[in-house]
Structure formats: structure tokens, C-alpha cells
Amino acid sequence: MTAARYAVYWAPEPATELARFGARWLGRDAETGQRTTALAAGLPLSWERATEEARLYGFHATLKPPFRLREGCDEAALEAALEALCAMLGPIDGVKLRLAALDGFLALVPGSRLADLGDLARRCVTALDEFRAPADAAELARRRAAGLTARQDTMLVRWGYPYVLEEFRFHLTLTRRLSQETGPEIVNFLAPHAEHACAAPQRVGSLCLFAQAAPGAPFNVLRRIPLGAAARMAEPGTPSAR
């Protein structure tokens, strides 16, 4: 089976406080594909509109942005390539997240391990690019309409997305761009819940291959792959170590 689009995301492990928070805030769990009891029941109108796009993509931090498969590539090969990449990449511990405003939308952003997270995203973008179909004219025009720098436009053409490599910012999106009317209400409601969910430092110990079954359909976890399998196998004292 080939989905409409794929993406490589970091999503918190399902049993963690952060994962529960994200699923409840967005009203959907991308791990199971099921709707959840909305955290923001007291903000029905503003919450529904503010989280609409983030709900579609699921609670995550983007590492390789959504892409269509190049002709001649298939899902099984993509999955195998991501598994091989994850085996060579070590986990990242001690990622402390906080609520922040980014260009008018709310997200959770890290205050530490920025270089490590940036390198992780770079490896995902570049190592898996052979599977990505080039952006078509309509997609290029849509991205350019937002206003891009010359460097961003170069990366859009080369990598299919303008905000990669040095333009990358690790974040877990919580809302769309907020208006002056709804923004303060949502921030005041969300802040204590986000603070509680982010109290413990996070471990980036696995990557997720997300898939969108059809255009306009929600993205869900297709496979969660642990990081560092090759490094663990090579540790002294393990059965496979030489």
C-alpha cells in the first residue's frame, strides 16, 4: 500500500505525560488514530478552530516534512531505510520543553540540546530524500506565497520544504496563528497544562514514520522505530558484540 504522503516525526512515547497532554489538547491520538476527550472543553469555539490543522497532523515535532513517494519507491523500502537510519542514531536525553509563541502560533520548544536536535533533523532530511518526489509547481507556488528568503527558496527546491537545515526549529505545534481576540484566552487556559506536561525532561528515543492515507486525511503513526539499535548491539558484553 502507498499512502498519499509520509513524514518522519518525533512523537512522545504513548505512556508519557506529554503524549497524553498532546492527544487530549488536540482531541486526537495519532498513535491510535482515535479521537480523545478534549482537554479544552471550556473553549469549544476558539479551541476547535485554533487546533484544526494541528489535529490533522497529530502531536509531533517534524524532522522530515510530509512528502509524496518518488516514482519507483515503495512504503516497504522507505520503512527499511528509516529503520537503518534509526539504528545508527543515538537517543537524545534531557530535552526540556516549554510553551512559546512562534510567528503567532503556540508550540512547545526546547531550551536545550538544540544542536543535537538540529543534527537529527538534518540526517532525516538528507538521508531519506531519495524517496521524496520533487515538489510540483502548485506546491512551490503555495510555499512561495508565504514569502521566502532566497536561501529558503533554494531549500524548497532542493529539499521540498523551506524550513530545513539551518532554518529548522524543533517544535511541537499546538495551535494555528491566533488572533488578538482568541489568543490570550487560549494561552491562559493552556499554560498550566503545558507546564505540567513538560515538567520532566524528555527523551528522544524513537522516531515515527507517519502516513496520510489520502489527501485531506489525518496523519497517523505507521511505525515507531527506536534509536540506537546499532550502538546498543556493539556495546561490550552484549551477545552480538565482537
204's grid cell: 528522544
Predicted pLDDT at 39 = 85
104's grid cell: 503567532
> Helix (H, G, I), strand (E, B), or coil: what is residue 105?
strand
Residues 6+ apart with CB under 8 A from 75: 1, 2, 3, 6, 69, 211, 222
User: Taking the model in full, what pTM does it have?
Assistant: 0.91
Predicted pLDDT at 175 = 96
Digit-by-digit pLDDT tens for the chain (242 residues) are 678 999 999 999 998 999 999 999 999 999 999 999 878 766 766 788 899 999 999 999 999 999 999 999 999 999 999 999 999 999 999 999 999 999 999 999 999 899 999 999 999 999 999 999 999 999 999 999 989 999 999 999 999 999 999 999 999 999 999 988 888 889 999 999 999 999 999 999 999 999 999 999 999 999 999 999 655 544 445 443 33
Please give the CATH superfamily to which domain 5-230 belongs: Cyclic phosphodiesterase (3.90.1140.10)
Residues 6+ apart with CB under 8 A from 33: 218, 220
Predicted pLDDT at 44 = 61
